[in-house]
Structure 1
Amino acid sequence: MKRYFPLLFCWLLLLPAVAFAAAGSDPEEQFQRLHGYYQRLLNTDEGEKRENWQRAARALQELHRQQARQEVGAKSLYLLGNLYHQLYRRSGIPLDLAEAITSLQEVQGLYPNHPLADDALFYVAHIFLYEQQDWQRAEQVLKRLLDLYPAGDVAPGAREMLATIGGGRAGSTGSERPVLQADGRYKRPVAPAQPPETRRSASTDQKAERRIAVLPVRHWSSERYTRVVVETEAPLNFRSHLQENGDGPQRLYLDLDGARLSPRIDSPVKQVADGLLQRIHHLQTAAGGVRLILDTQTRLDDYKIFSLDNPHRVVIDLIGQPAPTPPPLPTPPPVMARPATGESLSLAQQLGMGVRRIVIDPGHGGKDPGAISPSGIKEKDVTLRISRLLAAQLRRQGNEVILTRDRDIFLPLEERTAIANSHEADLFISVHANAAANRQARGVETYILDVVASDDQAMRVAARENASSARSFSELQGIVQELLNHAKLQESQQLAEFVHQTTLTSLRGAFGGQIEDRGVRRAPFVVLIGAQMPALLVEVGFLSNPEEERLLADERYLNRLVQGIAEGINHYANNLSLAER
C-alpha cells in the first residue's frame, strides 16, 4: 500500500513554523502561530508535557469557534484532529483519540464542500483501521468517502484501503494489512495465511451487535432552555462532564457505556443552532461505548441529566441566558406591598411576575390510551376534549394558550414538559382522568411534583401515569430530589390550591355533594419533572366509577369543570399581582 496517510499532513508541513504567541487580530496569523506551536510539540521537548498540548487544543477550539464560517475555521478544526491524534500516540489515553475522531468528523460534517472534507474522512478511516483495529467502521467510512467524493484526491488511496480490508473492487489482493510504526509511516508485513476479513472472528461483530443501540436524539429549545432526549434500546450507565471555557460557550460530554450508534443516525454532527445549543456530535468510542458532545452557544447557568424508562432514555436539560445584549436603562424597582394577611410574598410575587402564556397538556394519546372505562371510554379522548374546552375558555379571558397535542397522537412524557419550557410558558397544566380497582372511588384531585408521594394512593396514581414499576418509582424519587425547584414548588402549591378549590366550587354548584374532594397531593410525576414554571396535574374524575364515567361524557359537567379550572388560574394570576397593587 502507498503511504497515503502522511500525505494528509503535507499542506500543514509546508506552512512556516512560527513562534506560538497570543492570538492576533488576523485569524490566518493566529492559525499560523498555532501550527508553528504544533510543530514544536512534535519535534521538541515541549511535547513531553500534556498541558502544552491541551493549551494548543484550547486555542484551536477557540479559533474555530470565532471563525467557524471562514476558511480558517475548517483548517483549525482539521489541525485540532491532527493534534489530538498525535497526543494520543504519546499518551495512550482513549479520550484523546476520541477527540481526534470527533474533530475530523466535524470537518466533513460542517464543511462538506471544503477540500479537506475528504481528507478528514480518510484520516478517520485510518484511525479506525490502524489505531482501533475496527475493520467494519473503517470500511463504512471509506465507502461513505467514495460515495461523497468519488473524484477526490484521496479516492485512490481509499479504494486501495478498501481492497486491503476485503471490501474493495474486483482484483483486490485483500491479504495485506499495513502496520503503523512509531515514526507515523506504514510498512507491509508478511502476508498472513488468510485475508483479514476471514481471520476476524465473528465474535467481533457479535459483540458490537450486543451493544445497546443509541437512537437519533430529539431536542426542544428556547433562548433560555434546551432539552435533549437520547433514547436507547435498553438501560445504560452514563457519565457526564462539562468542559469549562471561561465565560464563553461550553462543551458537555455524555458517555454511554456498552453502546453503539444506530444506523438511523446518518451524520456524525447534528446542527442545531437553536436556543442554547449549537450542535451535537455522535461518536463511537474505542472503549465500546458512545460519546455525545453538546456544543453550547453561550455559557450555561446550570444543566441537569437524568434517565427514564418506558422507553429507556437519557434527558439533558440545559439552562442559561441568550447571547448578551446591551442592557436597558435601569428603572426604579416597584414598591412591594405586603399581603393583608401578613403572610410573606412568594418569589413570583416579589418579582412581579404575571401569567401570559399557558401550556395545557392533554394526558396520554396515540398508542397510549391511558385509563379505559368499563364501557370503553379512553382517557386520552376525555383529556383532549377537556383541554380543548379549557384552551377556548382561557383564550376568551385574554390568555395565550398552547396545547401540547391537539389531536390523537403519542407524545413522550418528557416532550410535554419540554414544549412548555421551550415556549417559556408561565403555567403548565396537565389534564388527566383517574382510575382505580375500587369502582366506588370517585372525586377530583390535584397534584404537584414532589420527591415523596403524599400517601399510597398518590403513589399509585403517579405510578400509573408514569407507566412505571415500583422499583423505577423509587429510582424516580432520587431524580426528583436532584431536580426539584423549590421556588417553583411553592408557586405550584399555590396554583394547585386555587385551581382545586374553584373547580370543586364550580362542579358542586351544579352537581351538589356528589363531587368528592380528594385534595391537593404531591407525587413524583415524570410529566412535571424539569418544568421551569408553576405546574400541576389535575385528575378530573374516575373513569372506573360508573357515575363519573357518565359525567365525564356530559357536556354540562365538562363546561363547569373547565370554568372552575380557568377561574382558579385567574385567582392565582390576581394573587401574583398583589405585590404590585
Structure 2
Amino acid sequence: MNENSENINSEFYNENYFNSPKKVLIIFIAFIITIILFYFIATIFISYGYREAMNATYFQSINTSGDNINNTLIIIDPGHGGEDRGAIANGLAEKDLNLAVAMKLNQFFILSGYTVIMTRTDDVLLYKEGQEDRKKFYDLRNRLEIAEKYENCIFISIHMNKFPLQSSHGLQVFYSDNDESSQVLAEMIQNESKLLDPTNTRKIKHDNNTIYILEKITKPAVLVECGFISNYEESRLLVDEQYQNKLAFILFCGITKFMNKTEISER
C-alpha cells in the first residue's frame, strides 16, 4: 500500500466525513441503487433459467416435427380489459390476471416454436372508432373476428371465476360445441390441471349458448376459468407469479398434447 492510498483511507474513515449529511445521503443512495440493480439482474437470470429449464425438459419431449402442429396457429385471448374489469374480488380485477397468465402462456408457445396471436397485450377493450356506444358487445365480436379470419387455428380464452360461495375453487374448461374437437381440447386441459390441483374435481362443460364467442366460433375453441378470485386462498395463488407460470405451463401441456393427438383440418 502506498502513501497516497493511506492518506485516502485515513480521510475516508475520518469521523468528520460521516458528519456531513450530504455525503451520508450520497452513500445511502449509492447503496440503494446497488441493491436495486442486483435484484433486477438476479430476476433476469432466474427468469431466464426457468425458461431454459422448461425448454430443456418438456419442450424437447413434444413432437413438433409434424406439419400439422407447426402450421397450427394459437390464438390466446385474455378476457376483458380496459373499461371492462371483469370479475372483482379480494382486491383483484380479473382483467389483470387474465393478461398475466395469457402472456406467460404466450411465452411457452414462442419458446417452443409455435406461431401465436394474442387478442390483446395491453389493458384495452377491443372496440373501434364508432363502436363506443356498445363497447363490450363490439369487443366480443372483434375478438371473434380475429379467430374467424385464420385457417388451421385453435382459440384459447383465459378468464377467472367468481361465485358468492367463497369455498368454490378450481380450474374449469368450457368448450364450443360447434367443432367436435373442442371437447377433446377441453378434456386435455382439464386433465392436466389435476397436476396443479389434485383436489379439483370439476368437469368440462359446453358453453350451453351462454358464452358469446364459444356460441359463435367455428374453430376449435375453449374458455378456461383458471380459478376463483372470490376464494381468498385461491386468489392469493392466482396473483402469485410463480403460480401463474405453473398454471400457464399446465395450459401449454394440455394444448400441445391436443395438437399432437388431433388433426386440425384447414377450414
Structure 1 and Structure 2 fold alike (TM over 0.5) = yes
Change over 3 Å in CA distance of 1:577–1:424 after alignment to 2: closer
Please state how far the C-alpha of 1:425 moved relative to its aligned partner: 5.2
Please state how far the C-alpha of 1:413 moved relative to its aligned partner: 1.0
Cα deviation, 1:162-192, whole Å, max 9, x if unaligned, reads: xxxxxxxxxxxxxxxxxxxxxxxxxxxxxxx
Q: 2:95 aligns with which of 364, 376, 380?
A: 380
**How many residue pairs were aligned?**
184
How far apart, CA to CA, are the structure 2 residues paired with 1:424 and 1:368? Answer: 29
Please state how far the C-alpha of 1:526 moved relative to its aligned partner: 0.2
How far apart, CA to CA, are the structure 2 residues paired with 1:425 and 1:543? Answer: 33
Contact 1:499 1:569 in 2 (8 A): yes
The higher radius of gyration belongs to: 1
Please state how far the C-alpha of 1:415 moved relative to its aligned partner: 1.1
1:520 corresponds to: 204
How far apart, CA to CA, are the structure 2 residues paired with 1:544 and 1:371? Answer: 9
2:252 corresponds to: 566
- Report matched runs for 1:348-387 at 5 Å: 353-354=68-69, 356-374=72-90, 376-387=91-102
Higher relative contact order (CA 8 A, sep 6+): 2
Please state how far the C-alpha of 1:559 moved relative to its aligned partner: 1.0
Q: 1:541 aligns with which of 221, 227, 236?
A: 227
TM-score normalised to the size of structure 2? Answer: 0.65
Q: 2:176 aligns with which of 442, 449, 463?
A: 449
Please state how far the C-alpha of 1:434 moved relative to its aligned partner: 0.1
How far apart, CA to CA, are the structure 2 residues paired with 1:441 and 1:399? Answer: 35
**Greater strand share, 1 or 2?**
1
How far apart, CA to CA, are the structure 2 residues paired with 1:416 and 1:528? Answer: 11
Please state how far the C-alpha of 1:530 moved relative to its aligned partner: 2.8
Contact 2:176 2:220 in 1 (8 A): no
Please state how far the C-alpha of 1:502 moved relative to its aligned partner: 1.3
Please state how far the C-alpha of 1:353 moved relative to its aligned partner: 5.0
Q: 2:190 aligns with which of 486, 500, 519?
A: 500
Change over 3 Å in CA distance of 1:425–1:402 after alignment to 2: farther
Contact 1:431 1:537 in 2 (8 A): yes
Please state how far the C-alpha of 1:420 moved relative to its aligned partner: 1.2
Q: 1:556 aligns with which of 239, 242, 248?
A: 242
How far apart, CA to CA, are the structure 2 residues paired with 1:373 and 1:567? Answer: 29
Residue 113 of structure 2 aligns to a residue whose secondary structure is coil
Runs of 4+ aligned structure 1 residues displaced above 3 Å come to 352-355
How far apart, CA to CA, are the structure 1 residues paired with 2:240 and 2:106? Answer: 18
Residue 186 of structure 2 aligns to a residue whose secondary structure is helix
- Report matched runs for 1:65-104 at 5 Å: none
1:428 equivalent to 2:155? Answer yes
In the alignment, structure 1 segments of 5+ residues that lack a partner are 1-351, 451-484
Aligned identity (percent) is: 37
Please state how far the C-alpha of 1:517 moved relative to its aligned partner: 2.8
How far apart, CA to CA, are the structure 1 residues paired with 2:185 and 2:245? Answer: 20
Cα deviation, 1:405-448, whole Å, max 9, x if unaligned, reads: 11001121111111111233510000000000111111110001
2:121 corresponds to: 406
2:143 corresponds to: 416
Contact 1:427 1:535 in 2 (8 A): yes
- CA RMSD, 1 decimal: 2.0
Contact 1:427 1:534 in 2 (8 A): yes
How far apart, CA to CA, are the structure 1 residues paired with 2:193 and 2:111? Answer: 18
Cα deviation, 1:126-153, whole Å, max 9, x if unaligned, reads: xxxxxxxxxxxxxxxxxxxxxxxxxxxx
**Greater helix share, 1 or 2?**
2
Contact 1:445 1:517 in 2 (8 A): no
